[in-house]
Structure formats: structure tokens, C-alpha cells
């Protein structure tokens, strides 16, 4: 399986990248299958992302990153919180990606910030963005405030979100043509009686 991690952290070292790495490690550790992890650092692509908006063509590094995201079996996306939302760099990257690239793809959303008060960014900004892109967003989103590092709760949220992403990555597969035909055949063979609506109303009136 191929897991791609998109980190929008700007500093080095970055709490955003730290959270991304922990989520990736937890996800890879949840399955016996071989997991190939690739990290996309958006700060290294900032100039090419800006150029893509002005000339319509991705640079070499940006094109490779877009291809990695498109071909991934699952995504982990992590952004720092700026002005109560995702960062501009984070949004710009997903603005230049093909609108259909994430359709049906499992995505784990996460964010970091200086205060726990920004945790709702996951629900009012990130989840709607990836729902719009028709991705399959895992139920558990992970937010890490400054005080969460080393405290109780964060490791458990990371493990729970990783388990959900792993389940989607290993369990979401399109049925084969044979499976679809068998399901349709079973539906045709199932016996049931259709009672006309007028008869149902008459039966109710007689009570």
C-alpha cells in the first residue's frame, strides 16, 4: 500500500511535521502489509505552487507531488492553523490538484496550533474541503495544541485515527464485475410480495 503524507509546516523542526510522522507511523504499524510512506513537504513547493497559478503548469517537484497524492492508497494531511483556518499554502496545494484526484480516496485530516480553542478548524474548514473533493474522510480527526505534546489523550487519538485510516485503505475496494453480477442475480432471485399502495390504504381504513 502507498501512504502519502502532506505536511504544510513552515518551520524546521515543525510540530506539524512531527504530528504527520506520528500519524504515518501509527498507520503503517496497524497492518501486516508493506506500507510505502512518502512525505510531501509543501514549504519546499511554495514557489512552484505560486507559479502554477500564474502559468497553469506545475514544476517538476510539484508535478511529482501531485502524482504521488493522486496515486496514493491513502492520505494523511496536516496543516498549522493560521487565522482560525488551514494555511494558505495548504489550501493552494489542493487548489492546483485535479478536482477528481481525491474522489473516493481515504484521508485522515489533522492540524496543529498554539491553542486548543482552534481545534474546531478540523470540522469547519478541513472536513468540508475534503468532502467537497469527494474524499472519504476518517471519522476521527486529530488536533494537537502546544499543551497536548506529552500529555494524555493525543497518543490515543492518533492510534484511533490511524486504525480508521488503515481500515479504509485495506477495506475500500470496488467490487469486481463478477461480484456485481452475482449480487444482481441474487437480487433478482429474491422473492417478495409487492402490495399496491391503494391496498395498503384500504387495509388501514378497515382497522
Residues 143, 125: Cα–Cα separation, whole Å: 13
Q: What is the pTM of this model?
A: 0.80
Q: pLDDT (tens digit, 9 = 90+) per residue, 90-137?
A: 999 999 999 899 999 999 999 999 888 889 999 999 999 999 999 999
Could you give the angle at the alpha carbon of 69 between the alpha carbons of 67 and 74, nearest 5°? 140
Q: Is the pLDDT of residue 174 over 70?
A: no
Residues 40, 104: Cα–Cα separation, whole Å: 20
Q: Is the pLDDT of residue 190 over 60?
A: no
What is the pLDDT of the chain when averaged over all its residues?
88
**Do residues 92 and 49 make contact, with C-beta atoms less than 8 angstroms apart?**
yes
3-state secondary structure string across 1-39: CEEEEEECCCCCCCHHHHHHHHHHHHHHCCCCCCCEEEE
Q: Is the pLDDT of residue 193 over 70?
A: no
Q: Are strands 85-86 and 74-82 parallel, antiparallel or unpaired?
A: antiparallel
Amino acid at each position: 500500500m502507498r501512504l502519502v503524507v502532506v505536511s504544510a509546516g513552515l518551520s524546521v523542526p515543525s510540530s506539524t511535521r512531527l504530528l504527520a510522522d506520528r500519524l504515518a507511523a501509527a498507520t503503517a504499524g496497524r497492518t501486516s502489509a508493506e506500507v510505502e510512506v512518502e512525505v510531501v513537504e509543501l514549504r519546499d513547493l511554495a514557489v512552484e505552487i505560486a507559479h502554477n497559478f500564474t502559468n497553469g503548469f506545475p514544476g517538476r517537484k510539484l508535478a511529482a507531488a501531485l502524482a504521488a497524492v493522486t496515486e496514493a492508497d491513502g492520505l494523511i494531511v496536516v496543516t498549522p492553523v493560521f487565522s482560525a483556518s488551514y494555511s494558505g499554502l495548504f489550501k493552494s496545494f489542493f487548489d492546483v490538484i485535479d478536482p477528481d484526484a481525491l474522489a473516493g480516496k481515504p484521508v485522515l485530516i489533522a492540524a496543529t496550533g498554539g491553542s486548543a480553542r482552534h481545534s474546531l478548524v478540523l470540522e469547519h474548514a478541513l472536513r468540508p474541503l475534503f468532502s467537497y473533493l469527494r474524499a472519504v474522510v476518517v471519522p476521527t480527526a486529530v488536533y494537537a495544541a502546544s499543551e497536548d505534546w506529552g500529555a494524555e489523550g493525543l497518543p490515543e487519538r492518533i492510534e484511533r485515527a490511524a486504525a480508521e485510516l488503515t481500515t479504509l485503505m485495506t477495506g475500500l475496494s470496488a467490487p469486481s464485475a463478477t461480484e456485481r453480477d452475482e449480487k444482481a442475480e441474487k437480487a433478482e432471485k429474491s422473492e417478495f410480495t409487492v402490495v399496491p399502495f391503494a391496498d395498503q390504504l384500504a387495509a388501514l381504513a378497515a382497522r
